[in-house]
Amino acid sequence: MSSGRNTVWFVKGLREYTRGGYESASRHFNPADVEVDVAGRFFLVTGANSGIGKATAKEIARRGGTVHLVCRNKERAEVAKEEIVTETGNQNIFLHTVDISNPKEIWKFAEKFRNEHKLNVLINNAGCMVNNRELTEDGLEKNFATNTLGTYIMTTALLPLLEKAADARVITVSSGGMLVQKLNVSDLQSGNGPFDGTMVYAQNKRQQVVLTEQWAKAHRNIHFSVMHPGWADTPAVRSSMPDFYKRMKNSLRTDAQGADTVLWLAVSPEATKLPSGLFFQDRQPVPTHLPLAYTHSPPEDEEKLMQMLEEFSQKFKSVSP
């Protein structure tokens, strides 16, 4: 990003990520877009016990939707569920304990879920930013296992259910950080060179954008979207990025402001009037590449990513109980 024009664009973009950016954008929102009754529709939200996931689940519950909360920590999830039921009066809130960094667990959960439930909308919100290179029990780098492979398996395992549903949607919560990364399929698990958790996370978020674009091409009767929630004051930001949080805490968005576009993409009839596969910020499609940033990747790299993730996922499916 060497050009002055590019730097100005990027700095302007960063301001848009703050609470002030949300307040400015929201002046142009149509409140009626999300004033919808979604009773009789079924939603699954991963990472739903705090932050953007919980805020999204609560707003869907308020509108009458049946919400499946998929969380790693059972105790915290039960507290979140109780809060959602109490605040919304909606009893149709169901809890599933799944670790999204564990591919065998996801397969097992998804296969059972497909047999027992309906699904209209999948919201891939669970994510992590681990700042030191950690391996899961399966020998997978933890950020990749959670953000990329976990998202891939959860989505592909539930596609048969979504294919049967009316107005099916898949929304993935990404990050504007992906704008600084070009897709790199040569080192998916960040084993080469020094490990920078922030950049690994940004690479995973770029991968999620590519996944969304590829799925949109392959599954025409499901509406796929990926979005940047802006910079929100969530427990994940506080724990993973303490220095950033300290510097920016007075400018961060609330959970609800971060969740607004997720909710809009999940419930609004307006969202599906736009093409499938786009990247959104504050209810608007935005570019997936900065001007002159050289982050475009050749189609063969994007196909290679899909192929490699499919191979990974099948490996863990075959040992699934």
**pLDDT of 293:** 83
Which of 5-9, 168-172, 315-319 has the highest average model confidence (pLDDT)?
168-172
* Residue-level pLDDT at 19: 84
Is the model's pLDDT at 12 over the cut of 60? no
In a domain, 235, yes or no: yes
Is the residue at 320 inside a domain?
A: no
What band does 255 get if pLDDT is binned at 50, 70 and 90?
A: very high
Residue 321 in any domain: the answer is no
pLDDT at 36 over 80: yes
pLDDT digits (tens, 9 = 90+) for 131-153: 999 999 999 999 999 999 999 99
Residue 85 belongs to some domain of the structure = yes
Whole-number pLDDT of residue 76: 95
Mean local confidence (pLDDT), 244-253: 71
- Could you tell me if residue 76 is inside a domain? yes
| Percent above pLDDT 90 for the chain | 80
Which residues have a Cβ under 8 Å from the Cβ of 301 and sit 6 or more positions away? 183, 185
Q: What sign does the dihedral 201-46-141-237 (CA atoms) show?
A: positive
Confidence of residue 292 (pLDDT cuts 50, 70, 90): confident
Burial of 91: CB neighbours in 10 Å, binned 0-12, 13-18, 19+ = exposed
Considering the chain, what is the average pLDDT of its residues?
A: 91
Examine the pLDDT at 10 and tell me if it is beyond 60: no
As a whole number, mean pLDDT of residues 258-285 equals: 97
What pTM value is reported for the model? 0.93
Please report whether residue 246 resides in a domain: yes
Q: Assess if residue 108 is contained within a domain.
A: yes
Domain of residue 214 covers 3-315
Q: Is residue 14 part of a domain?
A: yes
SS3 for 254-280 is CHHHHHHHHHHHHHCCCHHHCCCCEEE
User: How many domains does the chain divide into?
Assistant: 1
Going by C-alpha positions, the residue among 96, 26, 92, 22 that lies closest to residue 62 is 92
Of the candidates 248, 251, 254, 249, which has an alpha carbon nearest to the alpha carbon of residue 232?
254
Q: Known catalytic residues?
A: 201
Pairing of strands 66-71, 42-46: parallel
Tens-digit pLDDT profile for residues 102-141? 999 999 999 999 999 999 999 999 999 899 999 999 999 9
CATH number at residue 111: 3.40.50.720
